[in-house]
Structure 1
Amino acid sequence: MRPNASEMSWEESSGADAFLSPDHRGGHPPVRESPAVTAWGVVLCVSGTAITAENAVVVTAILATPSLRAPVFLLLASLGLADLLAGVALVARFLFCLAPSDWSELVTSGLLVTSLSASLCSLMGVALDRYLSLSHALTYGSGRSRRRAAFLLLLVWVGACAMGAGPAMGWHCLDEPASCSVAPPLTRTYLSLLCGGFLAAVAVTLQLYAGICRVARRHAHAIATQRHFLPSGQSYAGKYGSGRGFSRLVLVLGVFVGCWMPFSLWGLLGDASSPPLYTYATLTPAAFSSLLNPLLYSLRNKDIRKVLLQACCPRRHAAQMHCPEDV
């Protein structure tokens, strides 16, 4: 998936592709020029590598630890895998476009669509998990809940792969440039449906977090009325009912909306004649969210942090295990 470059070459805008040579017109077969590596291409490759490495650590930590099998960890693993694929797609986009071809453009565009769709749906699943863990605290974490989470993730990935297969299955504008969207080779109809789905997922996620706040405040009020006090960190009610927890929630939502809303709106409003710079400015935050998601979701979880610290400092962890802690 790349921004439209109708009035300037892709080589100038990204360093990752090149336009057809103007000398090849009429019935002669087009020949792609060899692109030069530019600053944008280097940034694309470096950021994709960082995203891949960061999320690979998170996914490996979750899958290699048998104790991390609760629904929330399944969802975080799905989120990490989706963001890992986004990083791979960015690197592949840079490498393939050094020797550009139609098939590589379609494959990398489809992989980006798949990874970003799965990432957004996984974020929605994380919000749903947090809501259910608060509103159904007695049954949360049961085997039935894990099966529901696994089934939900199956639907997420089947849907994401189906959407990502669109360009390779013929839903592209390589043969009809007039039908291109702000991100060729995706057609405007295809991108409009995709961005419409993104906006719907954003709206559902915001509603879930609003429900989390309502339930948390109701629980906190009931606890205060009965004059019971919960230990810190033992309940989502305490977590989201406090000022600190609410500020963290605002931060998560602010990053979420800031990353996904710009491109979702621009994909609906823009067309093939729109300036490519606007597409870069809106698509970059959506890709950058894959770098922020592990910090905002996975690495904030104390169980995942414990696993990572144990892997990084096994001797220190073993010493702590043999030393009694004050209770």
Structure 2
Amino acid sequence: MNVSDVGGDESLVPPLTVWGVAMCVSGTLITTENAIVVTTILATPSLRAPVFLLLISLGLADLLAGVALILRFLFLFCVEPSDWSELLTSGVLVTSLTASLCSLMGVALDRYLSLSHALTYGSSRSRRRAAVLLLLVWLGACVIGAGPAMGWHCLGEPNSCSVARPLTRTYLSLLCGGFLLVVMVTLQLYAGICRVARRHAHAIATQRHFLPASQSYASKHSSGRGFSRLILVLSVFVACWMPFSLWGLLGDASSPPLYTWATLVPAAGSSLLNPILYSLRNKDIRKVLVQCSNLKSSKRVTSPSA
């Protein structure tokens, strides 16, 4: 929704809509969910492997996306809309989506390296490399997100607008082209994961006569579950990111705004699904959360007698 869409006096705050309520609720859920994940990892000294650094980065990026949605709601329905608020929320959202997508690529790279270099990956050297990589990712995301505030906007030239105002068509095309490149690289990494997993499964199959029957069945069952989870992750990843990446390249300012929202909502919705697919399914993180929950329950039980 743009400032120009509000009828009458532009100084009036527009009335609250269903879309506004949904924006506020989803932003709050995304922020809360990812804050829990980030706090849990940071507060647990044992969670310092490269994968947890990547999950912290992913959680921070998605948390920032939730904050961007809340800010967008506040600037649209609680205070008088202005150009600077549009530039601020657009920049924060671009930064968060860029960092989130690059972090997802980093998670795929981590899974590939942990399979192909199982004996050496996870050392302190690998953690330092992951930290440097994430620092570069966030620096790049912040530079890209600063584009609207640095002049890559169409507030003064409506004809140069893209499907996502106030971003220019050139800026959004470059952004979506980069998104597609990251998506393709991530898919290639997952294809490599499948190849490595098949080689491991073949190596296990050739040694089946050395294993007990129950252990052989357990290995096969675990492998099947692994591929099912991989297919689920890939399906959600492509469904969330591919529509907006393609629409940003193909659409223009004359296209119906509904199409833009229909493709942008899944991209933002990935911030709600990522903690479930990548962090809360991790057994180490789940163990910490269960321990915290049990500790709180025991305190509630003992507090009356105290």
Question: What TM-score comes out, normalization by structure 1 length?
Answer: 0.85
Match in the other structure for 1:18: 3
Q: Match for 1:199 among 164, 180, 198? A: 180
Q: Which runs of 4+ in 1 moved over 3 A?
A: 20-24, 227-230, 238-241, 315-318
Q: CA-to-partner distance for each residue in 1:18-71, whole Å, 9 max, x for gaps? A: 3277778xxxxxx44421100000000000000000000000000011110000
Q: CA-to-partner distance for each residue in 1:175-200, whole Å, 9 max, x for gaps? A: 00000000000000000000000000
Matched, 1:42 2:21: yes
Matched, 1:311 2:288: no
Q: Secondary structure at the match of 2:4?
A: coil
Distance 2:291 2:220 in 1: 26
Distance 2:274 2:20 in 1: 23
Q: Structure 2: which amino acid aligns with 1:245?
A: G
Q: Secondary structure at the match of 1:97?
A: helix
Match in the other structure for 1:322: none
Contact 1:198-1:264 within 8 A present in 2 as well? yes
Number of residue pairs aligned between Structure 1 and Structure 2: 292
Distance 2:56 2:251 in 1: 34
Question: What TM-score comes out, normalization by structure 2 length?
Answer: 0.90
Match in the other structure for 2:58: 79
Distance 1:134 1:22 in 2: 58
Contact 1:21-1:32 within 8 A present in 2 as well? no
Q: Structure 2: which amino acid aligns with 1:78?
A: S
Match in the other structure for 1:164: 145
Distance 1:34 1:134 in 2: 54
Give the deviation of 1:312 after TM superposition: 1.5
Say if 1:187 and 1:239 are closer, same or farther in 2 by CA, change over 3 A.
farther
Task: Name the stretch that deviates more: 32-41 or 87-96.
Answer: 32-41
The percent identity for this pair of structures is: 78
Matched, 1:65 2:44: yes
Contact 2:91-2:146 within 8 A present in 1 as well? yes
Contact 2:6-2:14 within 8 A present in 1 as well? no
Give the deviation of 1:97 after TM superposition: 1.8
Contact 1:181-1:267 within 8 A present in 2 as well? yes
Match in the other structure for 1:288: 269
What is the RMSD computed on CA atoms of the aligned residues? Answer: 2.2
Give the deviation of 1:140 after TM superposition: 1.0
Contact 2:241-2:266 within 8 A present in 1 as well? yes
Q: Secondary structure at the match of 1:36?
A: coil
Q: Match for 1:116 among 77, 90, 97? A: 97
Match in the other structure for 2:302: none
Q: Structure 2: which amino acid aligns with 1:62?
A: I
Say if 1:239 and 1:156 are closer, same or farther in 2 by CA, change over 3 A.
farther
Structure number with the higher helix fraction is: 2
Task: Name the stretch that deviates more: 67-76 or 31-40.
Answer: 31-40
Contact 1:18-1:34 within 8 A present in 2 as well? no
Structure 1 segments unaligned to the other structure (5+ residues): 1-9, 11-16, 25-30, 233-237, 319-327
Distance 1:22 1:313 in 2: 54
Match in the other structure for 2:34: 55
Q: Match for 1:91 among 70, 95, 100? A: 70
Say if 1:298 and 1:64 are closer, same or farther in 2 by CA, change over 3 A.
same
Structure 2 segments unaligned to the other structure (5+ residues): 300-306
Contact 1:58-1:294 within 8 A present in 2 as well? yes
Match in the other structure for 1:100: 81
Distance 2:220 2:233 in 1: 14
Task: Name the stretch that deviates more: 303-312 or 273-282.
Answer: 303-312
Say if 1:116 and 1:221 are closer, same or farther in 2 by CA, change over 3 A.
same
Q: Structure 1: which amino acid aligns with 2:275?
A: P
Distance 1:280 1:295 in 2: 23
